[in-house]
Structures are given as C-alpha cells and as structure tokens.
A and B are shown apart, each in its own frame.
Chain A
Amino acid sequence: KNQVEQSPQSLIILEGKNCTLQCNYTVSPFSNLRWYKQDTGRGPVSLTIMTFSENTKSNGRYTATLDADTKQSSLHITASQLSDSASYICVVSAAGGYQKVTFGTGTKLQVIP
C-alpha cells in the first residue's frame, strides 16, 4: 500500500531560525513529489516539485531535497518568518497509467516571535 509519512507532526521554532521537515514514502513506481503549504483556513498551495532525477530544488527560503534510493524527502526552511506558520504537506505521485496521489498528514509549523 502506498504511504507517505511526515515528521514531526508539529514544530515550534523562533523567528529567524532554520528548520527541516521530513517525508518518507513507499509510493511505487515513483513519479514525483510535491511539497504543499497550507495556511490556516486556506487551501494547500504547491511550493516545489521533485522528480526522480532531482536531488535539490529551491524556492526562495524553501529548499527541498529528494533521495529516491532511500525514498526520503526533506523541506528546509531558512531564516523562518512568522508567515511560515502553516501546515506543510508532502504529496507523492505514482508513475504510469491511472494512479492516485498519496498525501502525507502534514507537519504543523508554528513560528513564534
């Protein structure tokens, strides 16, 4: 069964600090992995997409990494801001034909001043 597990479930950090969120998946065959940011009361918004051949991708202060061998991804947030407070959801898609994507349950990040 395809699964996506995220850790930690929740995280509190001080403004300006860095943090790293983890995603482990068992989706096969792998197509791509996306990180979504979901602000409270809003819909998820895509931050970045990682395909099999990509190891690192940055989007501003967000940097995603992918290790397809160990089936792990991380999202690193640099110099956190209050506006980074949100849930971050890892979403993995399978390749070939009709396949559903698999959502992680998310990491809830709170950045405090």
Chain B
Amino acid sequence: DAGVIQSPRHEVTEMGQEVTLRCKPISGHNSLFWYRQTMMRGLELLIYFNNNVPIDDSGMPEDRFSAKMPNASFSTLKIQPSEPRDSAVYFCASSSRKGLAGGANTGELFFGEGSRLTVL
C-alpha cells in the first residue's frame, strides 16, 4: 500500500486566497483525521471522520476552515480566506480500527507526509 497520500506537499499563497489540501487515506481504513502542527502548539486535531461522516469538528479554528469527505478514498481541507496565522503543516491520518474515536483509542494512526502551508 502506498500509505496516506497528501497533496500538495508545499503551498505558498497570499493572504485572502483560498487553499485546498487533499488526502487519500489508506484503502480499507474507515477513520480519517486532519491535524495541524506548529512549533508552538504541536499536533492539534482539526476534524475526524468515521465512515465518511464528520464526527467531531470542534478543533476547526473558525468558519474559514471546512473539510469534506465525499467518499472513502478522498478528503479535502479548505481554508477560505487564508490568513498568515494559518501557516503550519497540515497532516492527514487514517486508521482502520472500527468505532475509532477522534484520535484512535487503540488503533495506530497512519500519517501522510503533510502539506506545508505558508500564507504571506
């Protein structure tokens, strides 16, 4: 398996622009997570999907952030409009344990390589 695939790996954009990050989870995994990582705050859960349904989006910073999972093999995280404080590395992770809660109570999280976002 190719693992969790994220794109783009790097994105540089100007404040106010729309940013779309993409994720393809590992085939067969039923849970998908979007995380944001910064030096100051470490890894933060943004949103968690189980069987393509958003279960917990309490970590989404504000209405400028939205995430979708139209099918089991694809998810997007959109920021519109982007701001400089959104600069971070955004990770997508998937897991295969049934009934998993927003961070894998027992299951291993498989992370993608991340999308490094810089908003100027």
Contact = CB atoms under 8 A, between A and B. Distances in A.
B103 A100 contact: yes
Contact of B101 (A32, A44, A89, A100): A100
Interface residues of B, number: 22
Interface string A12-37: 00000000000000000001101010
Given A31-B106, A42-B114, A98 B101 contact: yes
A93 B105 contact: yes
Interface in A48-104: 49, 89, 91, 93-95, 97-104
Nearest to B39: A105
A103 B102 contact: no
Main secondary structure of the interface of B (DSSP, over half): loop
Interface string B71-105: 00000000000000000000101000000011111
Contacts of A46: 108-109
Interface of A: 31-32, 34, 36, 41-46, 49, 89, 91, 93-95, 97-106
